[in-house]
Structure 1
Amino acid sequence: MKKIITATILFVALSFAAFAGGKDKQLATDLNNALKNSKQVSWTATDTHNRAAFDFNGKTVMAYYDREDNALVGYSIHLGSDDLSKTSQDAIAKKYPGWEIIETIMFIDNNGYASNFVQVKKGNKNLALKVNDDRISIFSHM
């Protein structure tokens, strides 16, 4: 399931990076430095992107690069639902009562814009939500 939400987020991030949430240039700089200085980086490739996995502050980070020009697309960091702000958690609970949070990812694009994406499930329904504080939009039906 993680591959589905990650692939969905990467696809849309490539397409709509301009609609990201808050800008966090320092985090992007810190991630760039951590990747450059990491002694253990695991590289994989797909038809559309190259991916580097490395550790940053105890969490696994994925750096995504465009396959054609090797330009940085952005970073994804898997988070726990408790890493979301209380405002975001309350907004999800209010808008999607009875839905379970399955996965939470922060995506930081190559310009330093960060957005949270949350996969929620209720019965056999799955949604990927873009969540920034109390603003929630359906990102993808899964």
Structure 2
Amino acid sequence: MEFHFAVEGQIVKRDPEVFATANGNQGVRFELAHKPTYRDASGQWAEGRTQFFDIVAWGQLADNVLASFKRYDQVLVTARGLYAHESGGFAHLKVTADNVAASLRFGTATPERKPRDTTQTVRTADGEDLPGDDAWNTATPAAAAA
């Protein structure tokens, strides 16, 4: 069974930054701070302890994160797993993002779709690689064809 989760928080410390692995793969990383709020026993809103997440994104997602977000932006990250490590007395959770989106809780966003590169393959949620010019781009709706 796979563990999926989402966390909303603010990008802290610095803008998302590019990094490279020893074998040359490039990704983007940033630190996310999440401060939970809850109602205490008296019914008043209270703030919990800040949780820190070290987020990593790869591929096209990394390019989009780098082009879209900066320090102090409020984002929503979805992922499939996390790993804990301690640094400077704080527990940090390492996360590989499946998706990163702008949080609309405190602001607005205007989505901008990039043109699809038809020479590139697209990985589906099932793990299947499809050509960039797959059937979804070229299919004629049944109603229009009739």
Q: TM-score range by the shorter chain?
A: under 0.3
**Structure with the largest fraction of helix:** 1
**Structure with the largest fraction of strand:** 2
Q: What is the TM-score when the length of structure 2 is the normalising length?
A: 0.22
